[in-house]
Amino acid sequence: MKTVGLYIILLCMTLGAVQAQDLNARVSVLAPKIQTTNKRIFQSLETAMKDFLNGHKWLAEPVQPQERIDCNFVLNITSWDGGANFTGELQVQSLRPVYGSNYNTTLLSVNDKDFEFSYTEGQTIDYSDQSFTSNLASVMAFYAYVIAGMDNDSFSRMGGTYYYNLAQAVVTNAQTSPYKGWKAFDSNTNRYWLIENLNNKLYAPLRSFIYDYHRNGLDLMADNPAKARKAISEQLPVLARLDRQRIGAMLPLVFFTAKADELVSIYAHTEPQPRIAALNIFTQADPANGIKYQELQKQ
């Protein structure tokens, strides 16, 4: 009976671990500028980050293995004191499958340059939604919730609000920490402003556009490209009305960083009228990627 009882306990633990895998996170820790013979610390950090992201329950709803959210975390270590203190840049990307195709579209692509943290080899990364435990845990939890929110926004109109509130709680808990990236005055483009924008009604039209773009646009592209492109075109004026001059206007920047190349590919071989109309809106709403959009003028 003891053997049966132990089997049941182990089975429950295994099922719990499987259910906790909401993210399919690929993690890379790079340290090309760090001169050291001890590379194990970076391998240990990479494993700890991967285990933390993939082993935590981030989503409220049950997730099947094939439904896990694909995402990439690339940490480039720029300095290390030889002990427990690190500085680096964290690149975070999340992907979403497009219905009826083998194509994965990028939802989030951000480079977090204000990333300092402490870690010791073999350390387990602990996290609590109620308090700030470490900058390493909080930064990863923040992006996990943002990834969950953006994924839900793309499948359900304004569906990511619950997760954005959780990400906001991470930012609130970090306000008393000495680390950069959590406060409004640290930078105009940081974690504080990203979640501020996502929760700000001013940018609700962009969140709504993200839903229409994916569900009524990309997800129909395989079956009816003309209908899908028309649905996207009807929503493009939303992009032209975005306030890019507002201090901390980070969400439009994040959106166009993820979508600029894709937008060009959608309109590259369309009729002149919708193509030029899209070109005018893109260059107005996203002048930083103007060179990319000029490709639409050459067709």
DSSP letters, 65-96, are GGGSEEEEEEEEEEEE-SSSEEEEEEEEEEEE
Render the burial of 50-71: b for 16+ CB within 10 Å, e for the rest: bebbbebebbeeebeeeeebbb
* CA distances from residue 224 to 162, 231, 247 in whole angstroms, order as listed: 33, 11, 40
**Domain contains 224:** yes
Looking at the DSSP assignment, which residues form a beta bridge with residue 74? 28, 91
246 DSSP β-pair partners: none
The reply to whether 44 falls in a domain is: no
pLDDT at 20: 62
Q: What are the b/e assignments for 95-110, b being 16+ CB within 10 Å?
A: bbbbeeeeeebebbbb
Q: Nearest to residue 77, comparing CAs of 69, 85, 67, 68?
A: 85
pTM greater than the 0.85 cutoff: yes
Residue 57 tokens read as 């329950």
Q: Which structural domain, as residue segments, surrounds residue 214?
A: 200-299
Residue 227 domain flag: yes
Q: Which of 112, 208, 128 is nearest to 160 (CA)?
A: 208
In a domain, 153, yes or no: no
Which pair of structure tokens corresponds to residue 246? 């507002």
Tally of CB atoms within 10 A around 162:
13
Amino acid at 139: V
Q: Which of 282, 165, 184 is nearest to 232 (CA)?
A: 282
- Rg (C-alpha) for the chain, rounded Å, is 21
Within a domain: residue 261? Answer: yes
Residue 179 lies in a domain: no
| Residuewise pLDDT in 10s, the chain (299 residues) | 444 443 433 333 344 444 468 999 999 999 998 988 788 999 999 999 999 999 999 999 999 999 999 999 999 999 999 999 999 999 999 999 999 999 999 999 999 998 999 999 999 999 999 999 999 999 999 999 999 999 999 999 999 999 999 999 999 999 999 999 999 999 999 999 999 999 999 999 999 999 999 999 999 999 999 999 999 999 999 999 998 778 889 999 999 999 999 999 999 989 999 999 999 999 999 999 999 999 999 76
Element (H, E) at 113: strand 104-118
Question: What are the backbone dihedrals phi and psi of residue 218, each rounded to the nearest 5 degrees, phi first?
Answer: -55, -40
User: How is residue 38 annotated by DSSP?
Assistant: -
Residue 254 lies in a domain: yes
pLDDT of residue 73: 98
Count of domains observed in the chain: 1
Strands ordered across the beta sheet of 85-97: 23-30, 69-80, 85-97, 104-118
Answer yes or no: is 220 within a domain: yes
